[in-house]
Chains A and B, each alone.
Chain A
Amino acid sequence: MNILELRDVSYTYNRGTPFEELALDSVSVGFEKGKITGIIGHTGSGKSTLTHLLNGLEKPSSGDVLLCGESIWEEPKKIAQIRFRIGLVMQYPEYQLFDETVRADIGFGPRNMGLDEDEIARRVDEAARFAGIAPELMDKSPFDLSGGQKRRAAIAGVLAMRPEILVLDEPAAGLDPRGRTEILGGLRDYQRSRNATILLVSHSMEDMARYCDNIVVMNQGRIYVTGTVSEVFARSEELQSVGLNVPEIARIANGLIRRGIPLSGDLYTVEGVRRAILSYVKGECEC
């Protein structure tokens, strides 16, 4: 079932000025409940714009954003309520930190929700755990943290609101491989423990293959391809034509298929391809 859906949404920046820019062009797409959906696309393809629309930060120029089948702009006064349900971590979220301590900063969202102090403290600790923030950092000033730690604090600030849908715009961009796995792994833990829905914008096909269930490919303000991870990666030529690379291993698997070796299964992780090749080789021997 689609918990969140865009219906024929267009968005134009600087409308009515000479700097007009059509960032989204009649986009229709749905996001499945309880799944991690990756959003990928070339730079400037409209991914960040899409995330702002999903969270109600920006109102579509035309079209509708539906949460559980109802337009989020039905009652514009209630948009703040919607924002608590759909958490958004913006691209490079470090700059949003402002409070005296990391703990207070993570508590900003829950405090705005009007929760009591016990509940806030509980949520802050839980969010810090998912985001991988060491307890001794919690009482430091957020401005004394390293870049990667700031990123985690900013992500925790959104997790602490316990949104049922979490939209992240390149949460792992510019981090080292270990930082990436820790943050993305933490997000997956959050998704499993709360049965949340996650939309993950990323440039990394490897990350997509590892963490996502579905993929939406965007190109120049339009949806280019959508489907499950294996469906999308099976179309590597089309992806390459819009400047995206599929993971190396998926390219190898696709190459083998083209040369007449019928592989099946998860053909986008090393493990999956290894299993597929092994079972193919075994099958070959038996007959």
Chain B
Amino acid sequence: MLKDITFGQYFPGQSLLHRLDPRTKILLSLIFIVILFVAKTPIAFLLMILLTAVFVEMSKIPFGTIFKGIRAVLILLLFTAAINLFLTKGQGTPLLEFWVIKIYAEGIWRAVIMAVRVVLLILISGLFLTYTTTPIALTDGIESLLSPLKKIRIPVHEFAMMITIALRFIPTLIEETDRVISAQKARGADFSSGGLIKRARALIPILVPLLVSSIKHAEDLATAMECRCYRGGDGRTRMVKLTYRTRDFLMLLFVLAIGASVFVLNHYIPILLPDLYYF
């Protein structure tokens, strides 16, 4: 049933990655993405693959769970790889040639690099931002990182509050949908037969109660917030304060060092494909 969708994919745990500050994890993901797109040498990519493997191992999250995320984009991945493989024109003679298809060494290299980039991107951002961070911690982190924007009057707090509330109600809504579906099924409702119109009509007994209860939730929440004198972000303190700890600094330093070495490698090791960026 609907409830079997574990919301947000957060995977409870106590690993170092779980305990990092959400802001650190957001920054780490960004740095990682930059590194991935700056890297040009094979050694750099090997280094990144190794690093990702270490993080995956550290998080103690089952391999299968993490790779589910990749399965979702597998088609896209294969498609881009194929395009790179077949459409890249190299300088030397083609390695393989039949009919109109010519495959160059550069094509293979580019297809592999693109694939590695996308896979690592998904793995790392998934690992940092969804598997080891609760959605609420993530929005707190985003709010805190964006808070300088308050100076130019962007309502960062209200924005984060909206996201938090929306996230908070997703499980509730899923649970209620489940209950309403069950209740109407118990009254003999049939959602899976008949034509398009009949099926659309069959949704009414589910949508009406959900709409009614959503509006009621919104009203109740608004009242509850007013009763506790909620007046927006100004002067508001937090129950859970985000604090950077030593481990956050060490981790950032570590990944920055990796980034620096990738940058240096670009300059000192012959680059296989200078025009990697026409894409």
Which of A's residues lie within 8 Å of B, judged by CB?
13-15, 17-19, 52, 55, 57, 80, 83-84, 87-88, 90, 93, 95-99, 108-109, 112-113, 143, 157-158, 161
Q: How far is the CA of A52 from the CA of B12 in the complex (A)?
A: 29
A108 → chain B closest CB, angstroms: 6
Asked if B188 and A96 sit within 8 Å, CB to CB, the answer is no
* B204 interface hit (Cβ, 8 Å): yes
Asked if B179 and A83 sit within 8 Å, CB to CB, the answer is no
Listed residue (A14, A88, A98, A143) with the most chain B CB atoms within 10 angstroms of its CB: A98
Asked if B186 and A55 sit within 8 Å, CB to CB, the answer is yes
- The 6 residue pairs across chains A and B that have the minimum distance between CB atoms: A112-B188, A96-B183, A98-B208, A109-B187, A88-B186, A98-B205
Asked if A93 and B188 sit within 8 Å, CB to CB, the answer is no
B140 → chain A closest CB, angstroms: 23
Asked if A18 and B11 sit within 8 Å, CB to CB, the answer is yes
Supposing A109-B187, A109-B188, A113-B188 touch, asked if A90 and B3 sit within 8 A by C-beta, the answer is no
Asked if A158 and B186 sit within 8 Å, CB to CB, the answer is yes
Interface string of B165-189 (1 = CB under 8 A from A): 0000000000010011011111111
Asked if B176 and A95 sit within 8 Å, CB to CB, the answer is yes
12 A-B pairs whose Cβ atoms sit less than 8 Å apart in the complex: A17-B6, A80-B188, A83-B186, A84-B188, A93-B183, A96-B183, A96-B209, A98-B204, A99-B205, A112-B188, A112-B189, A112-B190
- Chain A contact residues: helix, strand, loop or mixed: mixed
Q: How far is the CA of A161 from the CA of B186 in the complex (A)?
A: 10
By size class, the interface of chain B is 20 to 34
Asked if A14 and B179 sit within 8 Å, CB to CB, the answer is no
Asked if A80 and B190 sit within 8 Å, CB to CB, the answer is yes
B231 → chain A closest CB, angstroms: 32
Closest B residue to A15 by CB, please name it: B4
Closest A residue to B13 by CB, please name it: A18
Supposing A14-B3, A112-B189 touch, asked if A96 and B176 sit within 8 A by C-beta, the answer is no
Q: How far is the CA of A97 from the CA of B180 in the complex (A)?
A: 9
14 additional contacts (CB under 8 A) given A95-B180, A113-B188: A18-B11, A57-B185, A80-B188, A83-B187, A84-B188, A90-B183, A93-B183, A95-B212, A96-B184, A98-B205, A98-B206, A143-B212, A157-B187, A161-B187
Q: How far is the CA of A55 from the CA of B4 in the complex (A)?
A: 20
* B147 interface hit (Cβ, 8 Å): no
Asked if B180 and A161 sit within 8 Å, CB to CB, the answer is no
- Residue in B12, B183, B186 whose CB lies within 8 Å of A95: B183
Listed residue (A57, A96, A113) with the most chain B CB atoms within 10 angstroms of its CB: A96
B193 → chain A closest CB, angstroms: 10
- Chain B contact residues: helix, strand, loop or mixed: helix
Q: How far is the CA of A173 from the CA of B11 in the complex (A)?
A: 36
Set of chain B residues within 8 Å of A157, measured between Cβ atoms: 187
Set of chain B residues within 8 Å of A90, measured between Cβ atoms: 179, 182-183, 186
Q: How far is the CA of A184 from the CA of B229 in the complex (A)?
A: 43
A19 → chain B closest CB, angstroms: 7
Set of chain A residues within 8 Å of B4, measured between Cβ atoms: 14-15, 17
Q: How far is the CA of A18 from the CA of B14 in the complex (A)?
A: 14
Set of chain B residues within 8 Å of A158, measured between Cβ atoms: 186-187
Q: How far is the CA of A133 from the CA of B190 in the complex (A)?
A: 27
Set of chain B residues within 8 Å of A14, measured between Cβ atoms: 3-4, 6
Interface string of B185-212 (1 = CB under 8 A from A): 1111110000000000000111011001
Q: How far is the CA of A19 from the CA of B186 in the complex (A)?
A: 26
Interface string of B4-42 (1 = CB under 8 A from A): 101000011000000000000000000000000000000
Supposing A13-B3, A98-B205 touch, asked if A57 and B182 sit within 8 A by C-beta, the answer is yes
**Which chain B residues numbered 44 to 63 have a C-beta less than 8 Å away from chain A?**
none
Q: How far is the CA of A226 from the CA of B224 in the complex (A)?
A: 44
Interface string of B203-227 (1 = CB under 8 A from A): 0111011001100000000000000
A272 → chain B closest CB, angstroms: 36
A237 → chain B closest CB, angstroms: 37
Closest B residue to A88 by CB, please name it: B186
- Residue in A19, A55, A87, A96 whose CB lies within 8 Å of B180: A96
Q: How far is the CA of A157 from the CA of B185 in the complex (A)?
A: 12
Set of chain A residues within 8 Å of B208, measured between Cβ atoms: 98
B70 → chain A closest CB, angstroms: 19
